[in-house]
Structure 1
């Protein structure tokens, strides 16, 4: 259980770092992104561990990464868009 928690924290931090590197202009401050990724991964590990039971380390870590990715995707703001006007208007 300790290995699952530690692994999920490290994966959540790595996913947060990758999201900040790729989408820095569309995410809020780092002090929001890192805890959101970490807590999302911990919750995902807990949820997956509860569903699968003990002894399924790869499945638990996969669930942690998926929930962390969903949590981080909720933080993404829309990018700048240009207004297009139709020719008829």
Structure 2
């Protein structure tokens, strides 16, 4: 693992009030444990079977928010992965 400054000036930051634009690259963050981060770097993200918001992989545009996860780990055992996303997507939920 390595330490890194946040985004360099060339990577746009998607603010909470901003709408994503197709074709742009955005930095998103995922809080995890060092062991899980190593596994993610080897094999990529895997959807959780069930989590706080249901099945999926959770990313945040807020570095500080991502750094608070996983909730059950002490702060000194948490790491954050930055993932650059080049396409926009949305969450669709189905009410039953």
Same fold (TM over 0.5): no
Q: Which has the larger radius of gyration?
A: 1
Normalised TM-score (structure 1): 0.30
Bigger share in strand: 2
